[in-house]
Amino acid sequence: MGGHATQPSLNLYQLRRTCSTCSLSELCLPMGLAPGDMQRLEELVTPRGPVNESEHLFRIGDPLRVLYAVRGGFFKTYLVEANGREQVLGFHLPGELIGLDAIWPEKHQCNAIALNTASVCELPYAGIADLGRQVPGLQHSMLRLLSKELALSHSLAGDFSAEERVAGFLLSLSSRMKARGYSATQLTLAMSRRDIANYLRLATETVSRVFSRFEQDGLVSVDRREVTLRDPEKLGELGRCFSAGW
């Protein structure tokens, strides 16, 4: 931006307003930034939507152009193995970043797909990296987000039972939804049971068996894709270790 324009017109500025009016700003990249710094970040951000269900944000091997922050809806990241089997890497909720694993070697390392009608913010990586060098708070929030991602994958490597995994999954979803101002006990699963099973390294039938058991035991009630946590404490006992990193 040159110095010849004293200020962008009010209209333009308001159009570009994203982070400062976004309810997710405390969870997302702008967390902890001073208003002035947030403004500079905002100028880089481009909201984009709707992203239709089953639309890809990027595929493995695509050059890194922008990072994505989820504004609305749910995304899934996944790999396709040599034998054609899909491996789910994670689910991304509003306020979470997708594409961080592309930072080096500046190429996307996985595929990202919308699980329902969604919207995102595009964060041009070059601009963000540049800004990061000038705004320490931004670097800090990036590292926090990267670290959270890393911690998420620890549990999956651990030796946990099917019940512990499913309980932990529900707890994680619950606390992430709560942090976004949604109900902690009334969850709508945008992801299929097959995706959940894949992510938790369980058989699809096992996931359903566990859900049925939980329902019989009064821990949850299930109606189509709606899962109500009836006994969060009991679920907490079961799933705490699995979801510790979350």
For the CB of residue 227, give the shortest distance to another protein in the complex, in Å: 6
Q: List residues binding another protein (CB under 8 A).
A: 189, 192-194, 196, 204-205, 207-208, 211-212, 215, 222, 224-225, 227
For the CB of residue 16, give the shortest distance to another protein in the complex, in Å: 37
- Residue 30 tokens read as 């702008």
Which CB, 139 or 208, lies closer to another protein? Answer: 208
Are 161 and 100 in contact by the 8 Å Cβ rule? The answer is: no
For the CB of residue 9, give the shortest distance to another protein in the complex, in Å: 43
Closest CA to 175 of 187, 157, 163: 187
- Residue 242 tokens read as 């699995």
Are 219 and 235 in contact by the 8 Å Cβ rule? The answer is: yes
Which CB, 67 or 227, lies closer to another protein? Answer: 227
How far, in Å, CA of 151 to CA of 137, rounded? 21
Which CB, 42 or 195, lies closer to another protein? Answer: 195
How far, in Å, CA of 238 to CA of 236, rounded? 5
How far, in Å, CA of 236 to CA of 26, rounded? 25
For the CB of residue 36, give the shortest distance to another protein in the complex, in Å: 44
Which CB, 125 or 242, lies closer to another protein? Answer: 242
Which CB, 134 or 221, lies closer to another protein? Answer: 221
Are 205 and 196 in contact by the 8 Å Cβ rule? The answer is: no
CA 121 to chain centre: 12
For the CB of residue 119, give the shortest distance to another protein in the complex, in Å: 22
Which CB, 129 or 222, lies closer to another protein? Answer: 222
- State the DSSP code for 52: P
Radius of gyration, alpha carbons of the chain: 19
For the CB of residue 157, give the shortest distance to another protein in the complex, in Å: 24
Are 93 and 179 in contact by the 8 Å Cβ rule? The answer is: no
